Amino acid sequence: MESQTRKNHVLFFMTLLVMLAITASACSFKPVSIGPITQTVDITIDQDQFDQALPHSTIGMTGPYDRLLDKVTAVEIHDGFIRYVGTKTLADGSEAEGSFDLSVGAENDMLKARIVAVDIPGVDLNDARILKANAEMEADLTELLTDSSAQVLFKEVTATEGALRLKLLVHID
């Protein structure tokens, strides 16, 4: 019987020592931290990807330029700009074809987009809708960067014939 009692005391003290060791090591444990991450990301969106996305998207139907075209039927990537082609219902109820060109680029680590040409009946670059669309796009792009939990810097944005290329620097704390 004594051997059984002695084993219980040894087991009890061993358990107590193990718990003490675990508690002591937990107090000195430092969580693993990977620190901030900075990564350069190159993105290329070609004309085929724009064409595939167009039937499933609402480009031109909402946002800053929703008042320019009622329906976007094509998005074309050209050297220095993206052209949105579609239709607009005129005041007399007739439907007219039209387009507008959106210049894209990067300036001071920010994405810049601006309507630089328009071919829509009754609309020119001085039209209030164009001025409002350009102002809204600038505000939306600025807000996009300031509200993000990660810092995204637009290093390069270029439209070339058939492809839109973006070079981003992404920083996550």
pLDDT of residue 83: 92
Through-space distance between the first and last CA atoms of the chain, rounded to whole angstroms: 62
pTM of the entire predicted model: 0.69
Which residue ranges of the chain lie beneath pLDDT 70? 1-35, 55-67, 144-150, 173
pLDDT of residue 21: 47
pLDDT of residue 68: 82
Alpha carbon of 16 to those of 2, 23, 120: distances in Å? 21, 10, 83
pLDDT of residue 146: 63
pLDDT of residue 53: 74
Domain edges within the chain: 1-30, 37-172
